[in-house]
């Protein structure tokens, strides 16, 4: 079946360093959504990408959707303690319109 | 506040028991999704209802069942509970039949502990 692989599983960064998480799908996606889950919290929607090659920015966060609509990335510039949490991608399957979730990348800020 | 309400927030029960988790979606949302999240794990999709009808099924065990009522609230029934069922159960809602039209709004979750 359709799968979305997300790497890395964890990323430890010093505050101020950059962070990137990547998602790769085995098949073409209709769109991809990104969510953030703070520790002890629930997933919160960040953004949706629909077009091939699309790039969207939200302040220090940059989201990209690959040309083939099979991969996506989230890049955070100059991380802050408020960025701590797990970032999930969720791709919408092309055929059954079901969200296929990545396993998440946990961002940990080193003290 | 996402507008999605889940009860109870916490539940402790014993193996072999049955529990019911309840979810009220955001006003106007017709779709309800149920997810299971084990400790520090990803989100496992269980089932989706749209306007009272089952729309999609994920990795839901036969011991689990769900329904969506005419007022659009949903219940997830977990029976013959096992230790491995201990997890956070999230309900999410969305406006449309599929997520192609937009985002999912998650509730705060129901944490189930099976002893």
Chain A: closest CA distance from residue B83 (Å):
21
User: In sequence order, which residues have a C-beta less than 8 Å from that of residue A33 and are 6 or more positions away?
Assistant: A45, A46, A47, A48, A49, A89, A90, A91, A92, A99, B99, B103, B104
- The residue of A35, A42, A50, A87 whose CB has the most chain B CBs within 10 angstroms, and thus the best one to mutate to test that interface, is A42
Chain A: closest CA distance from residue B24 (Å):
16
The per-residue pLDDT for B84 is 95
The per-residue pLDDT for A60 is 98
Nearest to B100 among A88, A92, A101 (CB): A92
Q: What is the mean pLDDT of residues A38-54?
A: 96
Per-domain residue ranges of chain A: 4-110
Say whether B100 and A88 touch across the interface (CB within 8 A). Answer: no
Q: What is the DSSP letter of A20?
A: E
Chain A residue with CA closest to B103: the answer is A45
> Is a pLDDT exceeding 70 seen at residue A95?
no
Say whether A97 and B102 touch across the interface (CB within 8 A). Answer: no
> Is a pLDDT exceeding 70 seen at residue A93?
yes
- With beta carbons less than 8 A apart as the criterion, state whether A18 and A77 touch: yes
- Enumerate residue ranges in chain B where pLDDT < 50: none
Q: What is the mean pLDDT of residues A23-49?
A: 95
Reference A109, options A80, A73, A86, A78; nearest CA is A80
Phi then psi for A85, rounded to 5 degrees? 150, -170
Q: Got the DSSP string for A82-100?
A: GG-EEEEEEEEETTT--EE
Token pair 């005419």 is found at B70
The per-residue pLDDT for A109 is 95
Q: Which CATH number fits domain A4-110: 3.40.220.10, 2.60.40.10, 3.30.565.10, 3.50.50.60?
A: 2.60.40.10
Query: In the beta sheet, which residues pair with residue B89?
Result: B36, B110
What would the two tokens of residue B54 be?
């089952």
Mean pLDDT of chain B: 94
Burial-class residue A79 by CB neighbours within 10 Å (0-12, 13-18, 19+). Answer: buried
Reference B37, options B86, B100, B70; nearest CA is B86
* Count of A-B CB contacts under 8 Å: 53
Nearest to A31 among B2, B100, B108 (CB): B100
Say whether B103 and A48 touch across the interface (CB within 8 A). Answer: yes
The per-residue pLDDT for B111 is 97
Please state, in angstroms and rounded to a whole number, the distance separating the CA atoms of residues A63 and A29.
15
What would the two tokens of residue B108 be?
């705060």
């Amino acid at each position: 079946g359709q799968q979305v692989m997300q790497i890395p599983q964890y990323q430890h960064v010093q505050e101020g360093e950059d962070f990137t998480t990547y998602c790769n799908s085995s098949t073409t996606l209709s769109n991809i959504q990104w969510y953030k889950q703070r520790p002890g919290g629930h997933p919160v929607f960040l953004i949706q990408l629909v077009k091939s090659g699309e790039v969207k920015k939200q302040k220090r966060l940059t989201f990209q959707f690959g040309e083939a609509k099979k991969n996506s990335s989230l890049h955070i510039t100059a991380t802050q303690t408020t960025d701590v949490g797990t970032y999930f991608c969720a791709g919408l399957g092309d055929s059954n319109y079901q969200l296929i979730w990545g396993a998440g990348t946990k961002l940990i800020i080193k003290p | 506040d996402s507008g999605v309400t889940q009860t109870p927030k916490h539940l402790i029960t014993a193996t072999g028991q049955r529990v019911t988790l309840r979810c009220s979606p955001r006003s106007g949302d017709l779709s309800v999704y149920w997810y299971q999240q084990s400790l520090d794990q990803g989100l496992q999709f269980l089932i989706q209802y749209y306007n009272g009808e089952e729309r999609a099924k994920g990795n839901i065990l036969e011991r689990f069942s769900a329904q969506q009522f005419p007022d659009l609230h949903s219940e997830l029934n977990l029976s013959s509970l096992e230790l491995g069922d201990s997890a956070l159960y999230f309900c999410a809602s969305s406006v449309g039949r599929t997520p192609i039209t937009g985002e999912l709004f998650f509730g705060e979750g129901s944490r189930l502990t099976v002893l």
